Amino acid sequence: MVTERLQLVPATIALCDAEVRGAAFVARTLGATVPESWPPPVFEPDDVARVRQQLVADPTAGRWTLYYLLRHSDSGAAAPALIGIAGYIAPPTRDGIVEIGYAILPQHQRQGLATEAVDALLDLAFADANVHVVVATTYAALLPSIRVLQKTGFIETAYTPATGLMRFEYRRSVLPRPAA
């Protein structure tokens, strides 16, 4: 999937295996530049293992997986830059609910890239007529993440004061979506 500034590349078993081997292998597998700061803070080895396990268990789950976010090169000649990840935690439930998550490297934050990625995930999710609700969670202390969800049309539906965890939802019934 391609947006104005991003290419969303779905995770594959080969990409998961490259993650385990290190940034240089991720760069080669993606054909992109990977900064020394890779991976983003919330993208842990257990996330990679979970995604790999999902892909092994269901090779057709590729659409409902993690995506690597590549920023297009300004010059056209240089390789795209890996700037973060975004994607679905799992395929939609039988009730038509799917959860998303995202993480952008600090040096690429506050440029609207997370908003662009979330917009793309919403478009992809709602292209499936069986999806009725897209869910995202974040923490009250993560104001930029909250702002991304608000800008893309999500509504806060739950807050747990003890943990600071917030739940946001975007329902198909509010389509068409607002411009970010």
Amino acid (one-letter) located at 155: I
What pLDDT is stored for residue 112 in this prediction?
A: 96
Q: What is the DSSP secondary structure assignment for residue 51, as one 8-state letter?
A: H
What pLDDT is stored for residue 179 in this prediction?
A: 54
170: region left, alpha or beta (phi > 0 left; psi from -120 to 50 alpha): beta
- Please give the average pLDDT of every successive group of 10 residues along the chain, which has 180 residues: 95 96 95 93 92 90 91 78 96 96 95 97 95 97 96 96 97 70
Superfamily classification of domain 6-174:
Gcn5-related N-acetyltransferase (GNAT) (3.40.630.30)
Domain ranges of the chain: 6-174
What pLDDT is stored for residue 76 in this prediction?
A: 64
Closest to 22 measured CA to CA, from 9, 10, 34: 34
C-alpha 100/C-alpha 15 separation (Å) is 19
C-alpha 148/C-alpha 102 separation (Å) is 10
CA angle 62, 68, 69 (to 5 degrees): 130
**pTM assigned to the model:** 0.92
